[in-house]
Structures are given as C-alpha cells and as structure tokens.
Structure 1
Amino acid sequence: MNKSKFSIKTIVAIGIGAAVFMILGRFGSIPTGIPNTNIETAYAYLALMAILYGPVAGFLIGLIGHGLKDLVFYGMPWFSWVISSAIVGLIIGLVWKRLKINDGIFGTKQIILFNITQVIANVIAWFLVAPTLDIVIYVEPADKVYIQGMIGGISNMLTIGILGTLILLTYSKTKIKSGSLRVED
C-alpha cells in the first residue's frame, strides 16, 4: 500500500493556511511608504504554520497563499515574491521538530533558535532571492528591488520576531508538557 507523505490534517492545514495567509496579506498589512512593500502580519502566521506542520507545509502555504493574494488583489502573481514567501516558510519549517512546540516547550533556547532561523530565512528570501528574481524575470532596476527587498525583509524579521514569537509562546502554553499531569475538578 502506498502511504501518503501528508496526513489529512497537514493537507487541510495547507489549504486553510494559504487562505488565512491570503486574507492577512490583504487586510493585515501596513504600508511602509516604499512602493509595493508592506509590513505583513501574514508572515507571523506563516511562521506558526511552518513550525506546526513542517517545511513542506510552510513552503506550500507561502507559495499558494502569496500567489492567491497577488492574483485576487492585484490581478496576477508577482512570482519573485511568491517564491520568496515559499522559501521563508520552507526554511522556518526546517526547525519544526527541534522546537517541540506541541510538547508545550518554547523557552529561551527555542525562542533563540526560532528567531535565528527566521532571520536567516528572511535574509535569503528578501535580500537575495526576491530582488534577484525581480531583475531576472521582470527586468526591474536593481537599486529599486534591493531596497524593496531589504525593507520587506527587515519588516518581516520584526513582525515574525515580535508577533510570531508571541503567537508561538502563547500556543505552547496551551499544550501540556510531556510528563506532567493535570488534575480535573
């Protein structure tokens, strides 16, 4: 029998995650003043989903969610940034098993690992991949796209670092630590 790599739960999480990313990308954004560059709360949510469901789910949520957001709200996907969102989800998801968030563990070591990972993900995606693909695919001017990428990357680092950390910390407190008992009244 051929077993699927994805559980039904993960497939549903990808679908719902992409839809929520799309909605947050449209209605949870704060303009920066730099054209087409916003502070996006969707990336804190993407980080949560990548940590809960892993790198493939993070990749697909970023890819589908950003692609749908661009398609629905701008008429066409901007592929360089869609791919970069997928890369952020993928890289953050790489530490999902090391964080043990579903075991109720998210202390200082996990917070540091999470934030180092998300900074690396954002540097790769927004300082390198997005602007380079903007130049290659859309023949955009280098100075413009590297500034957009840096502003977007820094704002995503701050959003994930603050909001993403708070969301993960709060989520971890809803989980029972392994080995602990809870008495019901």
Structure 2
Amino acid sequence: MMEKGLSIKTIVAIGIGSAVFVILGRFVSIPTGIPNTSIETAYAFLALMAVVFGPVAGFLIGLIGHALKDAVFYGSIWWSWVLVSAFVGLFIGLFANRINIQSGIFEGKQIVTFNVIQALAQAVGWFVIAPTLDVLIYAEPANKVYLQGIVAGLSNIVTVGVIGTILLVSYAKTRNKSDSLSVE
C-alpha cells in the first residue's frame, strides 16, 4: 500500500535539518566583506539533506531553517533570500534520484552530477531570483543586491562543492553498496 504524505522519518529530518541550518547559519558562517553576505556552511548541509530526503524535505529545511535564522538572529525575515534557500533545497532534491546516494556509491559520475545540479540551482537562485526579488519586494538598489547575489552564489557553489561533496562521500560510505552482493 502506498503511503500518502511525508514519512515520520522525513518529518523528523525536516525538524532536525531546520535546526541545524539555523545553528550553522549563525555560528559557522564567514563574513565576505560585502554587507549582509557571508560564506555559509548551512548550504552544504542543506544539499546533503535534500539528496538524502528529497525535494520536499530540501524545500522545507531551506524555508524553515532560513526563516528561523533570520527571525531569531536579525529580528525580521528577509523573504527573498529565504525563498531562494527553499528553491535550492527543492532543486537539489528533485535530482536526488540521479545521484542515488542510497546505493552506497558516490564517486566520479555522481559527484559531477551533484555539483552540476547544485551549481545550477545556486546560480539561478542567487544570481537571478534573490536580487530580482530584493528589487521588487524591498526596492533595494539593483547594483547592491546583484553584487550580494553574485558573492553569495559563488561562495555557496564552492562551499557546497567542497563540504557538500565530502558530506555525501561520507554518507555514501555508511550505505551498503548496491552491487556488493554476489550469487554463490
């Protein structure tokens, strides 16, 4: 019988993932020198969760985690960037089946696929969506927000490319390799 809705495991992952996103976003980010723009390790964790738990979990962890971080630490939510965090989690999660981390294999082809997907998601999100929404919603100066978007996007692409890849390689090693069984 097919389950409807989210599994308890996915719901727990969303809750824990959102909390970890908040903690990483607050305590494990490095200022870039561009106002309100940091190198964020939270996106490497978001990518891991999106690959392991799928697009709905990725979307909700990005949405809830970023909104909570903004509300708790800045006193208000910057919705344009929160929506991009949700978009990045969703987009990476949509392609999780192409990576198939549960197989226990995360090597050459999967690493390249993951990094092409995450770089595309981040580029669209941070170079286009976030700054455009900043201009439309908050009437921010375009030159300022497009610079912030480019710096955020590039730093997130590199951070997810390095830390996210390491996390996924490590996670894959905890899974049984799908081709490890042999017939005797």
Question: Normalising TM by the smaller chain, what interval?
Answer: over 0.9
Q: When the two structures are superposed, what TM-score results if normalisation uses the length of structure 2? A: 0.95
**Percent of pairs with identical residues:** 64
Aligned to 1:33, the other structure's residue is in SS state coil
Which amino acid in 2 is paired with 1:84?
V
Per-residue Cα deviation, 1:28-85 (whole angstroms, up to 9, x for no partner): 1000000000000000000000000111110110000000000000001100000010
- Aligned pair 1:14/2:10, yes or no? no
Structure 2 residue aligned with 1:120:
120
Number of residues paired by the alignment? 181
How far apart are 1:3 and its partner, in Å? 4.2
How far apart are 1:105 and its partner, in Å? 1.0
Which amino acid in 2 is paired with 1:124?
V
Structure 1 residue aligned with 2:176:
176
Q: When the two structures are superposed, what TM-score results if normalisation uses the length of structure 1? A: 0.95
Q: Show the 5 A alignment for 1:1-185.
A: 3-180=3-180
Which amino acid in 1 is paired with 2:35?
P
Runs of at least 5 residues in structure 1 that lack an aligned partner in the other structure: none
Which amino acid in 2 is paired with 1:68?
L
How far apart are 1:127 and its partner, in Å? 0.4
Distance 1:2 1:180 in 2: 28
Q: 1:34 to 1:173 in 2, by over 3 A?
A: same
Distance 2:2 2:120 in 1: 36
Which amino acid in 1 is paired with 2:37?
T
How far apart are 1:147 and its partner, in Å? 0.1
Distance 1:120 1:100 in 2: 19
Per-residue Cα deviation, 1:160-179 (whole angstroms, up to 9, x for no partner): 00000011011111111024
Aligned to 2:176, the other structure's residue is in SS state coil
Per-residue Cα deviation, 1:5-46 (whole angstroms, up to 9, x for no partner): 210000110111001001100001000000000000000000
How far apart are 1:96 and its partner, in Å? 1.0
Per-residue Cα deviation, 1:112-142 (whole angstroms, up to 9, x for no partner): 1000000110011100010000001100000
Aligned to 2:39, the other structure's residue is in SS state strand
